[in-house]
Every structure is written in C-alpha cells, then in structure tokens.
Amino acid sequence: MIHNKSRTYAELMDQRDSLNGYRNLFNYPKNNTGDPLIYFCGNSLGLQPKAAFSQIKKEFSVWSNKGVLGQDSRWIPYHERMTKTSAKLVGAKETEVVVMNALTVNIHLLLISFYQPSKKRHKVIMEKDAFPSDQYAIKSQVELHGYDPKNSIIEISPRDKEKIIREKDIISSIIENRDELALIYIGGVNYYTGQVFNMEKISKVAKENNITIGFNLAHAAGNIPLSLHDWEVDFSSWCTYKYLCGGPGSPAGTFIHENHHDWKGPRLTGWWGHNKKSRFEMPSSFDPIPTSEAWQISNAPIMGMAPLIVAMDMFDKVGMDNIREKSIQLTSYLQYLIECFLPSVKIITPDSRGCQLSIIVPNGRKIFNFLNQNDVVCDWRNPDVIRVAPHPLFNTYVEVYEFIQIMKKAIEQET
C-alpha cells in the first residue's frame, strides 16, 4: 500500500473514505476545550453510537408503560434481533450463534461442555500469556476435573528473543501432543501483540487429529472477517464492547457448531435454554432448544442489550468487507508514518493483524503518559507495550497523522 507523508494526503484520504460519514454517528470523549480526543482504544471499549441512548430510553418507556406486559412480544425474543447480524459477523449459520451473558462466563459454560478430559487425553494447548481471564478459566476447569494444570496445560510461547508465536510451533505442538490433547483453546487475535492466528489452519489440524477446538474472539469479532462454520470450529465466544461498540459490559456472542446441536454431553442448563413453546408451562424436565440457544441459562439483560442492537445493526449495514478494507488501509497508514517519523518505535504486531498495532518505545511509560495528557486515548499493557488501534468506523486518517505528530513530540521531549 503506497502512502504519503503529508497532512494533505491524510485529508484527501478522509474525503475519499466511503465510511467517513459513520464518524458522525458516534459520541466522542472531549478535552477541556471541547475538542474530541484522538480515540484509538476501540480494541478495549468501542465508542458510543449516538442512537444507543434512544434505544435504552425506548426499553425504559416500555417498562414504565407496560411493566411485565412488555415481555411477551418484545423482550422474550429480544436477543433474537442480533442472531442474523451475529451470524454474518462470524461466518456462522443463524442457529449456531446466540448473544448471552459475558465473555468469561460463556467460556466457562462452553468448557463445561467441550472440555471433557480423560486419563489419556486431558491436555489443553493455549498461547502463553493469553489474557489473564483465559488463563484463570482454563486452569480452574482443569482443576475442576481433578487434573494438575502443570501437567495438563501446554503453553505455546514465542521463541527466545521473539515476541510473536510462530504458527508452525502451534501446529507442531498439536501434532506432537495429539494423543494426549482434549482441547485447543486460543485467542483468534492475541490481545497483547495484535497477532492474528491462522484459525482456519489450526482448526483443520485440530479436526484431522480429532481434537476439540475453541477460539476466544474478543479481539477478532468486528475486527477481522471470520468463517467459523466453514472452519469447523467447535465453539467460540466474543465480547461485544470492544470493536462492536455495544457499551461497557454488553452481552457476549457465542458460537457452537451445528455438529453439536444434538448434544448429549454435559451442559449447565437453565430455563432460557428450554424449548420456547413449553418454557412458560414450567415443566420440570429440560427439553433443549435444538440450536446454540440451548446453552442459554437466563433471560436476556434487556438494558445491556439495547445499545448492542443499535451497534450491531450499524456493523451489519456497513458490512465486514468494507470495515476490513478501511481497517487495512488505516493501520497500514499508521505503520507507514511510524516508519517514516519515529525510528525509535518498534512495532511488534506482525503483518497478520487487525486494527491494532502494539508498539514498544524507549521510556514507554513516560511517552504513554504524554500521549494521555495530550488528548490521545490508547492503552498501556505491562511490561512495555502501547496498544494503538484506529477503528475504521470512527477514526480518520487525519487523526492518525495528528497522533504521529504528538508521539514525535513526546519522544523528542523524553530523549
């Protein structure tokens, strides 16, 4: 991709950007003088769609005017409003997805079903330094089954002096350990480095070796295109408050491949997973919905879902192909300017990536503080990384240009 160093180029790119209008559909945090901050933190919490508030107000008004009478036609099937959009987002059939709970809660619910260790096959492959919640979840599940995490968890690390896990190391570890593996569980996009793993290939090798495969897609959903059904992924979950802009703590998406819908194995159950026709007859025996919805336990958190419905509709309207196309351009522009203007900055994110670049710079913590004090929102992850993620729906090329100028000032001041 060929870019240019001038500000005029950034302005021109914004004028030509077919997604430019979407910026106006979001609210921006502002500085003391009322100017919008440069918000490159959509990988942590996406910005608020302006229409989110009116959607919540609508539900409040139904609650206020109808009480429980709002439930029948409106709230009982509320989560179904996101089925079609979620399926398109992750490349699934509509029966394979459901929005429910929070991410780590879903991971546990899925592991209860899909991690079934035996004496011979009890091991789990995961990436080293996965997001802490994933480490805790896997460790606690291993312990729940009476195994020792030290013997049962295989962590794949980057090689010595490297930051990125090599795909071939994941594959060779799967092959090497295939007779003892009960599960492969990996983040589709690593939260720290921004590395996108080759999910298609990993899933293929998992299937060839009859090993269950699950992905945490927290940093992938809404960031990169996915084909979970075709890749034959067994299960997955993703939060919706990052790239998808559903609001703090918005309910998570979940995928269970249709191969498992006639499930006879273990599952934690609740009334919301029961056959919709007889649910309110209050039967004492569980008759599962024959789709991923059978894994639901409780009725949907309507107020938490309301903003997400608005955000998902917006994503659906734009389409992942358009989002990805701009994301590739915008992040490659960021990389280009870093390489032109900031020689002391090291990008650790590989080319296989989404929006995010993870960068390391001398005096990183001080540089990060300078950015914060100068109207840039990005984040710091110990020990030494600044994560910068321009979001294709609400960030501009001029913001990337401005960010580089502020970063340049920060580096000059701190060295």
Which part of the chain contacts ligand PLP (CB under 6 A), choosing from 51-59, 172-180, 213-221, 346-354?
Answer: 213-221
Q: Binding to ligand PLP by residue 134, rule CB under 6 A? A: yes
83 burial type by CB count under 10 A (0-12 exposed, 13-18 middle, 19+ buried): buried
Residue 120 buriedness (CB in 10 A; 0-12 / 13-18 / 19+): exposed
Listed in sequence order, the DSSP H helices in 209-296 are 228-231
Sign of CA dihedral 269, 273, 275, 279: positive
* Structure-token match 């968890």, residue found: 153
Size of the site for ligand PLP (CB under 6 A): 12
Minimum CB–partner distance for residue 134 and ligand PLP (Å): 5
Among 181, 218, 376, 400, binds ligand PLP (CB under 6 A): 218
Q: Which of residues 179-208 bind ligand PLP (CB under 6 A)?
A: 187, 191
* 3-class secondary structure, 217: coil
Residue closer to ligand PLP, measured from CB, 106 or 396: 106
Among the listed ranges 45-53, 96-104, 111-119, 356-364, the one in contact with ligand PLP (CB under 6 A) is 96-104
Q: Specify the residue, 129 or 287, whose C-beta has the smaller distance to ligand PLP.
A: 129
Residue 304 binding ligand PLP, by CB under 6 A: no
Site for ligand PLP (CB under 6 A): which residue of 85, 86, 203, 216? Answer: 216
First to last CA, the chain: 31
Amino acid at residue number 185: Y
According to the binding rule CB under 6 A, does residue 135 interact with ligand PLP?
no
127 near ligand PLP, judged by CB under 6 A: no
Examine residue 103 and tell whether it contacts ligand PLP (CB under 6 A). Answer: yes
Q: How far is the CB of 29 from ligand PLP (least distance, A)?
A: 19
DSSP, residue by residue, 35-85: PBPEE-BTTTSPPEETHHHHHHHHHHHHHHHHGGGGIIIIITTGGGGGHHH
Q: Which residues bind ligand PLP (CB under 6 A)?
A: 102-104, 131, 133-134, 187, 191, 216, 218-219, 239
